[in-house]
């Protein structure tokens, strides 16, 4: 559940609890404060104004009488309405609010309200291994290439498997690379192509506006006038009936109250189980109708009992419902009606409570087992006969009363069942599409690197290259670097040797160059290692390397850690110099080392430079990848071939060049950069 909705519902429940026990003056003050919600959030004081602000998020407003003005057909009251109806209505209003909040997105304009409960029910039936993939589709938790291209200049808008523009509709309905999956779901594809694109972009179950209209009909359905009796029966027989009880949205419930002036011995023995004949010839129908309010069998059973008791004849009500028996017991054991406000059908329980506690009427009730064979010798034969007749009357009422409405609901239920079936298949199709795309991505990378291309990398050449020359005066800033003066000076001089192409590699995925390759070339051309941060987590960084401390064993640390340190040091120097030293620092997964035989796609940049000692570096890497035996984690260090370095440092270290001194100089430089940016 949305956390914000959870808070709103909690506020509603707490307000009901307070108002139910408050005196009349406190209620009026609360209603007045809660109805004043046209203030800024900073001006809200107390729970009453907070509740008003919460209700405003649902499009609701609390009036001075406690009634809730809502945009739906429902008529609600914060105290008198049933708590479960308040919570269900708040969830429906919240989903409408969610629909409105995302309606400004493309393809989501005029979004109908979402049936959250039905959607969650279908989603929960998916295997838990599939829920993550399908959940991303429902929440639109990914970006298409068309969307990525808005902020990534290197990203093509086209699908990576065909020349069409990449979009949700293309991925689901038309990409030829995934046609095999769609062929197994022709009904789903036909549905998506024939209906609005919203079903493709946001695959959930939507509410039919007609259902809400019919719910309003039942909410205001009038209670029947009871037929006047010329006799006082021994008891009332009540029963309820519900059509489509498993379908909460489209069901309807009915009830009936019957009685008779006959005794058991007056009834024909051969007709004791012929309920329709007994109903028309021996029993009187006192009342029969559809339920007013929420439609379910329990409410139908209780409403029949309440109406029977309100005749105030103080005769037993015979029912087959254990819920009705329990409700009577709860009322008889609760002197204060407000203690019942959290129970379902609170409005009916209050009516029973008034009869028993205020009017001091008896509300006797008896339980009879339903749908039992009847024998005149049974002690409860008369109750069984009466219950069967009441059941017949309730079923007839459910079948024939307000038939245009019930027929329409039946049709809507069938349409909804079909939509649920389609959505269930749709989720399965979306999962299979996602899995196929993952497999295609993996195969595409594997296909590109089916054989290593060592010689191509050795012979790699850049025409009309770009080289990043660093002004001589900026070399003084190497003394500010946290990585140390010597290493930083070497790094800057090495960066000036790289010859970069003017345009990035626009292939998807790009070959480019990884930080691991650049780190290896640095070690080959300088014959130096890379400083590694040896500080414990949470402590100030402390970079050490063999050149400063011959006792330091750099190979006891992962080469991946060294590669990360190398990348961070370049980013650090670029920040200190405030000039570009590379075409880009924006990371991207590239396939260069995979094409050399490394079994991984690693972070790098989509530009590949021509390097000094390029052949030696490539041979060292291919040999290193062979030693890895397919491992994707590069923990061991490669063996750097010994040769004359082509990148040398001529830096003179300042006196007292300690880690603490470097950090002081670094903080001074940071302050200068900050002041320059503020000008």
Residues 122 and 95 in one domain: no
Residues 259 and 184 in one domain: no
Residues 190 and 226 in one domain: no
To the nearest 10°, the Cα dihedral for 204, 210, 213, 218? -90
Which DSSP letter does residue 33 get? H
Q: Grade residue 447 by pLDDT with cuts at 50, 70 and 90.
A: very low
The pLDDT, as a whole number, for residue 154 is 63
Please give the average per-residue pLDDT across 634-653, as a whole number.
91
Residues 138 and 95 in one domain: no
The pTM is what?
0.67
Please give the average per-residue pLDDT across 173-182, as a whole number.
92
The pLDDT, as a whole number, for residue 36 is 78
Q: How far is CA 432 from CA 131, 186, 197, 259, 429, in A?
A: 12, 14, 20, 60, 5
- Return the sign of the alpha-carbon dihedral for residues 442, 447, 449, 450: positive
Query: Residue 662: which of 493, 492, 551, 540 has the closest Cα?
Result: 540
The pLDDT, as a whole number, for residue 659 is 79
Domain count within the chain = 4
What is the distance between the alpha carbons of residues 545 and 642, in angstroms, rounded to a whole number? Answer: 18
Does position 561 have pLDDT exceeding 70, yes or no? yes
Q: Which of 409, 436, 463 is the last residue of a domain?
A: 436
Residues 33 and 92 in one domain: yes
The pLDDT, as a whole number, for residue 113 is 83
Q: Grade residue 451 by pLDDT with cuts at 50, 70 and 90.
A: very low
Q: Which of 78, 101, 124 is the last residue of a domain?
A: 101
CA 564 to chain centre: 35
The helices-and-strands tally (H runs, E runs) of the chain is 25, 13
Backbone φ and ψ of 61, nearest 5°: -145, 130
The pLDDT, as a whole number, for residue 535 is 85
Does position 445 have pLDDT exceeding 70, yes or no? no
Does position 432 have pLDDT exceeding 90, yes or no? yes
C-beta contacts of 425-429 below 8 A and 24+ residues apart: 425/185, 425/187, 425/188, 426/185, 426/188, 426/191, 426/192, 426/199, 426/203, 427/122, 427/123, 427/126, 427/130, 427/134, 427/203, 428/126, 428/130, 428/185, 429/181, 429/182, 429/184, 429/185, 429/188
Per the domain annotation, does 447 fall within a domain?
no
What is the distance between the alpha carbons of residues 113 and 98, in angstroms, rounded to a whole number? Answer: 8
Q: Name the burial class of residue 675, with classes exposed (0-12), middle (13-18) and buried (19+) by CB atoms within 10 angstroms of its CB.
A: exposed
What is the distance between the alpha carbons of residues 194 and 202, in angstroms, rounded to a whole number? Answer: 15
Q: How far is CA 595 from CA 37, 126, 293, 513, 608, in A?
A: 64, 39, 69, 11, 13
Please give the average per-residue pLDDT across 282-300, as a whole number.
95
| Domain of 14, in residue numbers | 3-101
The pLDDT, as a whole number, for residue 501 is 94
Q: What is the CATH number of the domain that holds 393?
A: 3.30.420.10
Does position 332 have pLDDT exceeding 80, yes or no? yes
Per the domain annotation, does 480 fall within a domain?
yes
Per the domain annotation, does 227 fall within a domain?
yes
Residues 70 and 153 in one domain: no
Does position 43 have pLDDT exceeding 90, yes or no? no
Least reliable range by pLDDT among 89-103, 131-145, 282-296, 652-666:
89-103
The pLDDT, as a whole number, for residue 589 is 87
Per the domain annotation, does 441 fall within a domain?
no
In tens, the pLDDT along 364-393 reads 999 999 988 999 999 999 999 999 999 999
Residues 371 and 260 in one domain: yes
Average pLDDT, the chain: 90
Backbone φ and ψ of 667, nearest 5°: -70, -35
Query: Residue 521: which of 653, 412, 391, 613 has the closest Cα?
Result: 613
Residues 458 and 604 in one domain: yes
Say which residues have a Cβ less than 8 Å from residue 168's Cβ, sequence separation at least 6: 140, 144, 200, 201
Q: Grade residue 411 by pLDDT with cuts at 50, 70 and 90.
A: very high
What is the distance between the alpha carbons of residues 286 and 259, in angstroms, rounded to a whole number? Answer: 7
In tens, the pLDDT along 474-529 reads 999 999 998 989 999 999 999 999 999 999 988 777 889 999 999 999 999 999 99
Q: Scanning the structure block, which residue is given the tokens 């009730």?
A: 365
The pLDDT, as a whole number, for residue 449 is 44
Residues 307 and 431 in one domain: no
- Token pair of 581, please? 């030293």
Q: What percent of the chain has pLDDT over 90?
A: 62
What is the distance between the alpha carbons of residues 29 and 14, in angstroms, rounded to a whole number? Answer: 16
The pLDDT, as a whole number, for residue 448 is 44
Does position 238 have pLDDT exceeding 70, yes or no? yes
What is the distance between the alpha carbons of residues 242 and 229, in angstroms, rounded to a whole number? Answer: 28
3-state secondary structure 480-539: HCCCCHHHHHHHHHHHCCCEECCCCCCCCCCCCEEHHHHHHHHHHHHCCCCCEECCCCCC
Least reliable range by pLDDT among 321-325, 395-399, 613-617, 662-666:
662-666
Per the domain annotation, does 448 fall within a domain?
no
In tens, the pLDDT along 142-154 reads 888 888 887 776 6
Residues 157 and 229 in one domain: no
The pLDDT, as a whole number, for residue 153 is 66
Does position 581 have pLDDT exceeding 70, yes or no? yes
The pLDDT, as a whole number, for residue 100 is 67
Does position 271 have pLDDT exceeding 90, yes or no? yes
Q: Grade residue 450 by pLDDT with cuts at 50, 70 and 90.
A: very low
Task: Give the CA angle between residues 222, 339, 348 to the nearest 5°.
Answer: 15
In tens, the pLDDT along 91-142 reads 888 888 776 665 566 666 677 888 888 999 999 999 998 999 899 888 878 8
**Per-residue DSSP letters for 239-259?**
EEEEESTT-TTT-EEEEEEEE
Q: Give, for 4, the enclosing helix (H) or strand (E).
A: helix 3-21
Residues 665 and 605 in one domain: yes
The pLDDT, as a whole number, for residue 71 is 66
Q: Grade residue 444 by pLDDT with cuts at 50, 70 and 90.
A: low
Residues 121 and 79 in one domain: no
Please give the average per-residue pLDDT across 432-460, as a whole number.
74
User: 67 near 74, Cβ under 8 Å?
Assistant: no
Per the domain annotation, does 431 fall within a domain?
yes
Strands in 67-69's sheet, in edge-to-edge order, are: 61-62, 67-69, 76-77
Per the domain annotation, does 258 fall within a domain?
yes
Length of the chain: 679
Q: How far is CA 400 from CA 289, 290, 295, 396, in A?
A: 10, 10, 16, 6
Least reliable range by pLDDT among 9-23, 62-76, 195-209:
62-76
In tens, the pLDDT along 49-95 reads 999 999 988 889 999 999 998 866 668 999 999 999 999 999 888 88
Residue 57: how many CA atoms within 13 Å on its side-chain side? 19
Per the domain annotation, does 413 fall within a domain?
no
What is the distance between the alpha carbons of residues 630 and 646, in angstroms, rounded to a whole number? Answer: 32
Give the count of beta carbons closer than 10 Å to the beta carbon of residue 214.
Answer: 21
Q: Scanning the structure block, which residue is given the tokens 């609360």?
A: 30
Q: Give, for 286, the enclosing helix (H) or strand (E).
A: strand 284-290
């Amino acid at each position: 559940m949305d956390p914000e909705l959870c808070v709103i519902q909690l506020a509603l429940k707490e307000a009901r609890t307070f108002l139910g026990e408050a005196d009349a003056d406190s209620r009026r003050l609360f209603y007045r404060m809660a109805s004043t919600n046209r203030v800024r959030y900073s001006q809200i004081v107390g729970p009453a104004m907070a509740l008003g602000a919460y209700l405003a998020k649902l499009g609701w407003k609390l009036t001075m009488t406690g009634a809730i003005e809502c945009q739906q057909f429902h008529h609600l009251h914060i105290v008198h309405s049933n708590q479960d109806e308040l919570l269900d209505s708040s969830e429906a209003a919240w989903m409408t609010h969610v629909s409105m909040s995302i309606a400004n997105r493309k393809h989501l304009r005029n979004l109908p309200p979402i049936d959250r409960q039905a959607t969650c029910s279908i989603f929960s039936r998916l295997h838990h291994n599939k829920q993550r993939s399908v959940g991303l589709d429902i929440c639109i938790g990914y970006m298409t290439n068309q969307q990525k291209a808005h902020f990534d200049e290197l990203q093509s808008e086209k699908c990576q498997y065909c020349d069409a523009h990449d979009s949700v509709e293309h991925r689901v309905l038309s990409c030829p690379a995934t046609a095999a999956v769609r062929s197994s779901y022709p009904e789903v594809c036909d549905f998506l192509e024939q209906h609005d694109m919203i079903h493709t972009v946001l695959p959930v179950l939507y509410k039919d506006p007609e259902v809400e209209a019919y719910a309003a009909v039942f909410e205001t359905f009038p209670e029947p006038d009871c037929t006047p009796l010329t006799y006082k029966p021994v008891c009332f027989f009540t029963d309820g009936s519900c059509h489509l009880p498993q379908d909460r949205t489209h069901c309807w419930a009915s009830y009936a109250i019957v009685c008779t002036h006959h005794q058991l011995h007056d009834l024909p023995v051969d007709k004791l189980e012929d309920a329709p004949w007994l109903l028309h010839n021996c029993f009187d129908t006192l009342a029969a109708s559809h339920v007013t309010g929420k439609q379910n069998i329990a409410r139908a059973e209780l409403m029949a009992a309440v109406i029977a008791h309100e005749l105030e004849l103080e005769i037993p009500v015979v029912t087959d419902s254990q819920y009705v028996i329990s409700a009577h017991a709860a009322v008889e054991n609760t002197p204060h009606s407000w203690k019942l406000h959290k129970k379902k059908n609170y409005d009916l329980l209050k009516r029973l409570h008034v009869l028993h506690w205020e009017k001091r009427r008896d509300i006797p009730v008896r339980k009879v087992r339903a749908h039992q064979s009847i024998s005149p010798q049974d002690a409860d034969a008369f109750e069984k006969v009466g219950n069967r007749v009441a059941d017949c009357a309730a079923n007839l009422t459910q079948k024939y009363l307000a038939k245009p409405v019930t027929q329409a609901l039946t049709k809507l239920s069938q349409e909804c069942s079909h939509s649920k079936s389609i959505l269930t298949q749709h989720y399965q199709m979306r999962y299979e599409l996602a899995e196929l795309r993952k497999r295609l991505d993996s195969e595409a990378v594997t296909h590109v690197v089916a054989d290593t291309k060592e010689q191509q990398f050795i012979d790699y050449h850049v025409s009309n290259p770009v080289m990043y020359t660093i002004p001589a005066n900026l070399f003084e800033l190497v003394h500010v670097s946290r990585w140390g003066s010597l290493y930083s000076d070497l790094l800057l001089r090495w960066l000036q040797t790289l010859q970069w192409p003017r345009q990035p590699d626009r292939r998807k995925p790009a070959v480019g160059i990884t930080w691991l390759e650049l780190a290896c070339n640095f070690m080959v051309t300088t014959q130096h290692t890379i400083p590694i941060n040896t500080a414990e987590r949470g402590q100030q960084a402390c970079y050490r390397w063999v050149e400063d401390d011959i006792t330091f064993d750099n190979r006891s640390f992962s080469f991946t850690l060294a590669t990360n340190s190398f990348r961070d040091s370049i980013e650090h120097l670029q920040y200190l110099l405030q000039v570009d030293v590379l075409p880009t620092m924006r990371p991207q997964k590239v396939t260069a080392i995979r094409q050399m035989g490394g079994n991984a796609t690693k972070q790098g940049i989509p530009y590949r430079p021509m390097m000094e000692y390029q052949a030696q570096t490539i041979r060292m890497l291919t040999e290193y990848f062979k030693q890895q035996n397919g491992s994707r984690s590069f923990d061991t260090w490669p063996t750097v071939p010994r040769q004359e370095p082509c990148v040398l440092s001529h830096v003179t270290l300042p006196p007292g060049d300690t880690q603490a001194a470097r950090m002081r100089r670094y903080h001074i430089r940071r302050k200068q950069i900050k002041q320059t940016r503020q000008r």
